Structure 1
Amino acid sequence: MAVQATFEKLTAKMNTDPAPIEQLSYVYQFDLTGSESGTYQLKIDHGEVTYTTGVKWEPRLTLKLSDDHFVQLANDDLNPTMAYMKGQLKVDGDIGHALKFHQLIKKYQDD
């Protein structure tokens, strides 16, 4: 349940403070392995964020990683550049957008 709880927490934070995402229209897809394996999507649409399991929308970027690494990434406890270099994170799409996702995550972390 860690993956679902992480998505719920992240979407709640983003929807509570939509200012950093008001100009974004983007779908991130996460193909996860591990005990909570599956496909998850995070849709950011001009200040409104939703997530789903499975493929509902056309993703602009797909990140492939383990469920544990996803939770670490979402909590800003995983350096995506190092994870990519170590093969723990694979990216289908523009690598620059993967880095932008990490910057976005950092904006929504607890102080």
Structure 2
Amino acid sequence: MSVEQTLTALAEKINANPHAINGFHAVYHFLLSGEDGGNYQVIFAGDHATYLKGTPDEAKCLLELSDANFIKLVEGNLNPTAAFMMGKLKVKGDLGYSLKLQTILNAYQS
């Protein structure tokens, strides 16, 4: 699965059942390396999640990782704490928002 397919699937899951993001407003930037890398933005606004290629809005939290590790993270196959400690994941900005993102991702993993 590609990064964009992963983001589309995640947004569809969240928008179908937004229980984990009710009333939450945040913008996340993902700077991904690798063949399917690039800059992506995920926006949580109220009860809706969207993603954009590029980073037009200011983010509360920026995460840098490879495209393969991003897909593993979203699917629940990469422990974010271990990835951070091993240097596979870099976080800039508000660390509290990175923890909230982990909670959101955990709520929508198959």
TM-score, with structure 1 as normaliser: 0.95
The aligned residue for residue 89 of structure 2 is: 89
C-alpha contact (below 8 Å) 1:31/1:62 kept by paired residues? yes
Deviations 1:25-51 (A, max 9, x none): 000110000001110000000011110
CA distance in 1, matches of 2:76, 2:44: 19
TM-score, normalization by structure 2: 0.95
Q: Which residue is 2:26 aligned to?
A: 26
Q: Which residue number corresponds to residue 74 of structure 2?
A: 74
CA RMSD of aligned residues (A): 1.0
Aligned equivalent of 1:8: 8
Count of aligned residue pairs for this structure pair: 110
What runs of 5+ residues in structure 2 fail to find an aligned partner?
none
Percent of aligned pairs sharing the same letter? 39
Per-residue deviation at 1:22?
1.5
Paired with 1:95 and 1:30, the residues of 2 have a C-alpha distance of 14
Distance in 1 (CA, whole Å) between partners of 2:71 and 2:48 is 21
**Contact conserved, 1:80 with 1:99, CA < 8 A, in 2?**
no
- How far does residue 77 in structure 1 lie from its aligned partner after superposition? 0.6
Deviation at 1:19, TM superposition (A): 2.1
List runs of 5+ in structure 1 lacking aligned partners. Answer: none
Residues 39-50 of structure 1: matches in 2 within 5 Å? 39-50=39-50
- 1:69 positional shift: 0.4
Distance 2:103 2:18 in 1: 15
Secondary structure at 1:19's aligned position in 2?
helix
User: Secondary structure of the residue that 2:82 maps to in structure 1?
Assistant: helix
1:39 counterpart letter in structure 2: N
